[in-house]
Amino acid sequence: MMFEDTHDEHVLLTPGPTPIHPRAQKALIRSMLGHMDPEVFALNSEIQRDLREMYGTEPEGFTALLAGTGSLGMEAGFANLVEAGDEVLVCANGSFGRRMAEMAARYGAKVRLVTAPLGEAIKPADVAAHLDDDISMVAVVHGETSTGVLNPVPEIAELVRGSGALLTVDAVTTAGMEPFHMQQWGVDYAYTGAQKCLSAPPGLAPVAISERAFSRFAARRTQTPLWYCDFEGLRDYWVNHTYHHTVPVNLHFAFHAALRAALEEGLEARQARVRLMGRVIERTLAPLGFSHYVRRPEDRLPTVLALRLPEGFDDAGLRQALRQREISVTGGLGPTAGVIWRLGLMGESARPGPYHRLMTELEDLLGAPGLLDRYEAVLAEEQRGELALA
Ligand SMILES: *Cc1c(COP(=O)(O)O)cnc(C)c1O
């Protein structure tokens, strides 16, 4: 396929990346400034302040942006906080949990896995059964994008609090859109990716690091093997304003605008918006035979709606036809390929407009008259319900 620069109206309904927020899009074209410019340091401080609010850190908690995607956020945690021979307990009930386990192992950890059947959340009792004084870190993915499952981080955090282990949480599909309370829960290291719940361009990993994690870092017997994201190097630039590496200033501009927009909208309003859109989509598609893939309602991740496809549904053919009409939808991964769709409800995709486009095209492609009318009726009903509650 040739690259064509004609995608102005493209609708991204994938579980990341998400459509870029208009304010972030505009900030991207600001003229370049140097990474040591006082104005950039002022912008960075605002980003750090806003990230403290988004993550719910301790009042002076350390936050920063890493120049890379969410996976760099994941890797930096293991690189800085794990040494060869450390015992690390990884909760892995999907592909991102398994990515964590692989990274921990590459930094020399002895990995203990806690798993759950596909489409189910990790059970805190299973974590408790594997947790002992030898464990130096527990790592868990909050929202498992590969299956649409929400893991019970507050309950797991409570177990870890009494144990002396650090707690690392992948907040890629949750922070900025779902409740996240780093200090209150007792999380030591959290990260996300700019292109997920915040609808900023990809290429930045916002992280938050607790004082406890910094103490563990300071007590390392060996230097961290990953120079680029060394916690001390991060502190040099983000706190002491000395050169470490050239940060992607234009991405900082866009990220700042997207995060500001999120906080101005309000984190609770965003949570309500995701839930409302999830209900509307599920109710609209249910009569066609779509159903929730994740059985238990409390295990469902609101930002990635995993729907089981109707019997005999042409998954690949439909997604290809939608792509020709400038709509991107994501199917399952591995064992769920051909079985589910994973509809993204992070950031700017959790709005009536993008899904209006999906329903319009699906009505036509599936020969399902009335689908769009049902979408509009259910949306109006849910919006009225929300107003009545307010
Ligand atoms: C997308 C994602 C990542 C990886 O982020 P990249 O930006 O693709 O590197 C990690 N964890 C979860 C839960 C994700 O959804």
In what helix (H) or strand (E) does residue 79 lie, and over which residues does it extend?
A: helix 70-81
216 is in an annotated binding site: no
Q: What is the CATH number of domain 24-264?
A: 3.40.640.10
Report the pocket of ligand 1 as residue ranges, CB < 6 Å: 16, 69-71, 74, 96, 141, 145, 170, 172-173, 193
- What distance in Å separates the CA atoms of residue 34 and residue 40, rounded to the nearest whole number? 7
Pocket test for ligand 1, best of 196, 304, 333 (most atoms within 8 A of CB): 196
Instruction: Please give the number of the atom of ligand 1 that sits closest to the Cα of 195.
Output: 7
pLDDT single digits (tens) 8-50? 689 999 999 999 999 999 999 999 999 999 999 999 999 999 9
Where residue 109 falls among pLDDT bands split at 50, 70, 90?
Answer: very high
At 387 the pLDDT is 85
Residue nearest to atom 3 of ligand 1 (CA): 70
Helices (H) and strands (E) in the chain, counts: 14, 15
**What separation in angstroms does the CA of 55 have from each of 171, 210, 232, 249, 376?**
9, 11, 21, 22, 34
Residue nearest to atom 5 of ligand 1 (CA): 70
Please report, in angstroms and rounded to a whole number, the separation of the first and last CA atoms in the chain: 49
Residue nearest to atom 15 of ligand 1 (CA): 145
Cα angle 119-18-169, degrees, rounded to a multiple of 5: 50
For residue 326, report the distance from its CA to the centre of ligand 1, in Å.
24
pTM over 0.95: yes
Residue 320 pLDDT > 80: yes
Q: What is the CATH number of domain 11-15+266-389?
A: 3.90.1150.10
pLDDT single digits (tens) 205-239? 999 999 999 999 999 999 999 999 999 999 999 99
At 272 the pLDDT is 97
Residue 342 pLDDT > 80: yes
At 77 the pLDDT is 98
Instruction: Please give the number of the atom of ligand 1 that sits closest to the Cα of 145.
Output: 15
- What are the boundaries of each domain within the chain? 11-15+266-389, 24-264
pLDDT single digits (tens) 89-105? 999 999 999 999 999 99
Instruction: Please give the number of the atom of ligand 1 that sits closest to the Cα of 304.
Output: 15
- What distance in Å separates the CA atoms of residue 109 and residue 188, rounded to the nearest whole number? 18
